[in-house]
Amino acid sequence: MALYNTNTLLPTKSFISQSPPHKSFPCTTLRPISAVHAPDPSSQKPPSSTTPSATISTTTPLTTPSGTKWTVDSWRTKKALQLPEYPDQNELDSVLETLEAFPPIVFAGEARNLEERLGEAALGNAFLLQGGDCAESFKEFNANYIRDTFRVILQMGVVLMFGGQMPVIKVGRMAGQFAKPRSDNFEEKDGVKLPSYRGDNVNGDAFDLKSRIPDPQRLIRAYSQSAATLNLLRAFATGGYAAMQRVNQWNLDFTENSEQGDRYRELASQVDEALGFMAAAGLTIDHPIMTTTDFWTSHECLHLPYEQSLTRLDSTSGLYYDCSAHFLWAGERTRQLDGAHVEFLRGIANPLGIKVSDKMDPNELVKLIDILNPENKPGRITIITRMGAENMRVKLPHLIRAVRRAGQIVTWVTDPMHGNTIKAPSGLKTRPFDAIRVTNLSPSSIKSTSLLFYIIFIVNCVNYWYNQSTHYEKDSGMNINRKMWLVIFMCFTRALDVRRLSTRLVHRLALILCY
């Protein structure tokens, strides 16, 4: 029988959804990568004489811990949902071959470091903060937008770290979050029926036939924008912009003339005082931990041909990594146990997420985790619940109990956007401010742990705010949303402070932001 620590949730021990497999693009080798740009921790063993050769066929099988064979294109033998149907297969193959020859966007060592950090979160020793757009777009690609998104995540991270007194793992839904799953392959307006918009890396959002036809060249543009975005994020994270000494300089206009702004400035002043004390005591504030920050990228693993084209064999570990992002997740519509997306994800070594709604059967979740993480490695799996405020109390405890009974180690987070969606009078989707809440799953709800598990619901996934004139305003929406975030984070950190004074229990936050 498994034993449990009462302070943790952990045991101690396409258009055409049923189309035949797509033809493999004409690529005969998989380009290995070196980890020289992102060295592993010292605990990593150096490559041995059995390290795979520099060139390896895409059909060379990899034996997974479950004993089954896996190759980078074995997903093509499975049923693949949510994949676009391109009119010119030869053009798609040519684009994929080009992408296969491009450099990786991220490095394997970085993904391994993230997995280690997520393992700490799974053990209750860190917070996870994930933020970004529901879907990136080509039209909004500019340096200021990237900077402001990064700055907000930094700001929320400081509030969370200061209030929670724990490390914060900062992950952006950026540099690759383009593809959008759809509940219907077609969209109809005024009697006109066209293919659904599936994200800027597939087709355009304008409601005309030319825009809605999937275009393989968009994958090249998505790669270029992702690489440029991550390049700028790296510069911000390591070039001094993220230094703790700049915490007051991260203030944006939404912190001015408001109670939340006053509270943030008070917190920032306290951070400054702490840094001043460190300097006076002779403790250097020029250490990299004070002047830089770790920042990782993530997106939904949806467009499998694109993901395969950016999968590389790591020369250090001998494992395959999808180098389009550090962290990838299987969506609610593509997490079938025998589906193509699960088949692809089980063979890559990136840390993985699983989106889970109130429709998820607890036994199925246990089976899915076992497929993706047969070695039960902490940090490998993050469960992202997306079931809305009404279903959270009823459904989530059953999933938690099933996973705990199976002895599986996962990181629990919540997606407060999907599941809390309503339609404004204009017909556009939004999330009401009333859905912002901190939900406390009490010990009586879980019945097997004394841990208080906090869940935060945040609104407005697409950066728009519905106003009295019945239209959406992009710029004002960003500012309103940031005020909302400050309200929630300040309330949460105040609650953490009260709990820290009244109990010695370990409190964990599993948090995911979409804005």
Q: In residues, how long is the chain?
A: 515
Cβ neighbour number for residue 284 with a 10 Å cutoff: 8
CB of 84 within 8 A of CB of 214? yes
3-class SS of residue 345: helix
User: CA-CA distance, 503 to 505, in Å (whole number)?
Assistant: 6
CB of 329 within 8 A of CB of 301? yes
386 is in an annotated binding site: yes
CB of 40 within 8 A of CB of 112? yes
From the list 291, 203, 311, 204, the residue with the least C-alpha distance to 246 is 291
User: CA-CA distance, 130 to 127, in Å (whole number)?
Assistant: 10
CB of 22 within 8 A of CB of 80? yes
CB of 324 within 8 A of CB of 299? yes
HEC string of 116-137 equals HHHHHHHCCCCEEEEEECCCCC
Write the DSSP string, 163-182: HHTS-EEEEEE-SS------
State how beta strands 192-195 and 320-322 pair: unpaired
333 is in an annotated binding site: yes
CB of 437 within 8 A of CB of 457? yes
User: CA-CA distance, 457 to 433, in Å (whole number)?
Assistant: 9
> What is the Cα Rg of the chain in Å?
23
115 is in an annotated binding site: no
Cα first-last separation, the chain: 42
Token look-up 């799996």 returns 381
User: CA-CA distance, 35 to 103, in Å (whole number)?
Assistant: 13
User: CA-CA distance, 132 to 129, in Å (whole number)?
Assistant: 10
From the list 90, 112, 87, 79, the residue with the least C-alpha distance to 26 is 90
Q: Cα dihedral sign for 491, 492, 493, 494?
A: positive
198 is in an annotated binding site: no
134 is in an annotated binding site: yes
Q: How far is CA 189 from CA 197, 206, 208, in A?
A: 13, 12, 11
173 is in an annotated binding site: yes
Q: How many CA within 13 A on the CB side of residue 74? A: 20
From the list 69, 130, 460, the residue with the least C-alpha distance to 325 is 130
User: CA-CA distance, 443 to 230, in Å (whole number)?
Assistant: 41
CB of 66 within 8 A of CB of 337? no
Q: Which residues are annotated as a binding site for Mn(2+)?
A: 134, 418
Q: Which residues are annotated as a binding site?
A: 134, 173, 332-333, 355, 386, 418
Q: Which residues are annotated as a binding site for phosphoenolpyruvate?
A: 173, 332-333, 355, 386
